[in-house]
Amino acid sequence: MQHDKVRRAFLHLLEKNRWSRHEVRERLKQAADRRYWKRLNPQLSITDRLDLSGVKTKALGSKIYRHTLEKMDDSGYFEMYPVFSPSLLRRMRRTIDVLRGEDWPPILAIVYDEFWLLFRTPLLVHLLGGILGPGYSQIPHVWCHYVSPTPGASGWWPHVDGFQKSGRVSVWIPLTDATLHNGCIYLIPQNRIPERLAQTFTHRSRFSKEELRLLLQNSHALPARAGSILCWNFGVIHWGSAAGHTHEPRISIAAEFIGKDFPPERHETPVLDAQASIPTFDERLQIAGRGLRTYQKFEPRIIRYAELAARLT
């Protein structure tokens, strides 16, 4: 009962913290102005062009490629060493800091090309093509995660990304080191638990002692250095852990992809070209608005931007 009272009081405070109508109007003008975003973060680009010259990655050997695909097929996920330039990651991380300082939700970072180009590098195209098949597309679900360096702050609670694990994957790239102290990703490999347990996980409110033991003992922590790649299929149970005593936030960008032979659900449309182009500026704003509306259930604080989200979509 006390917990319910605290939650209601918290939600009430969040409601009072929404942007005013005047503030929303002014912010919408800024959001629609490319020049505003360029002034805010001149170190990044807004060109709508697939120019990968500034987004270099390390080479991917054939042995690592085969091992990665085998790991994905067996365990439902893979983890890869840092492949992106530290200087690029620093610029992207600084962008998130600037947006937060200007009271924008971090997801608005996707107005910049670099937040799309990471997922279109030859290395990732090669990997995702091997996993999903040629001609795969991007689902218009993108999110920028920010976990404050505060004890108890955490990422999203345990969940699966969808109920059709085949033909769909999520790719998660940390812009800062994700550690055991600032809320790294945990997951449960698909080959460690019965498939029925993962399929029903989201909808169940009770678990037997044996099921709980199985879930806990097979949980894997995945600390990841900035610029690493984590990828899992939609049926893998995963979550962001709670932060402890740390000075470093956990900042990351996540995107979802679907194979050519798998019809998208209504909420997954319109799918995006994942290899030959990047979304237009207007499309990016719409996708950011959709994200704010969709993921409020995981991050109640973004109710502050609810009217902005409605207007962007």
CATH number for the domain that contains residue 151 = 2.60.120.620
What's the domain count of the chain? 1
User: In terms of residue numbers, what domain contains 265?
Assistant: 2-312
Q: What does 56-93 look like in DSSP terms, one character per residue? A: -B----HHHHHHHHHHHHHHSEEEE---B-HHHHHHHH
Instruction: Tabulate helix, strand, coil % of the chain (nearest 5).
Output: 45, 20, 35
Residues 290-304 have a mean pLDDT of 92
Over residues 95-146, the pLDDT tens digits come to 999 999 999 999 999 999 999 999 999 999 999 999 999 999 999 999 999 9
d(CA 176, CA 123): 20
Within 10 A of 278 (CB to CB), how many other CB atoms are there? 23
d(CA 39, CA 119): 25
Residues 180-195 have a mean pLDDT of 96
Over residues 223-278, the pLDDT tens digits come to 999 999 999 999 999 999 999 999 999 999 999 999 999 999 999 999 999 999 99
**Two structure tokens written together for 70:** 């085998």
Amino acid at 198: A
**Residue 1: predicted pLDDT:** 47
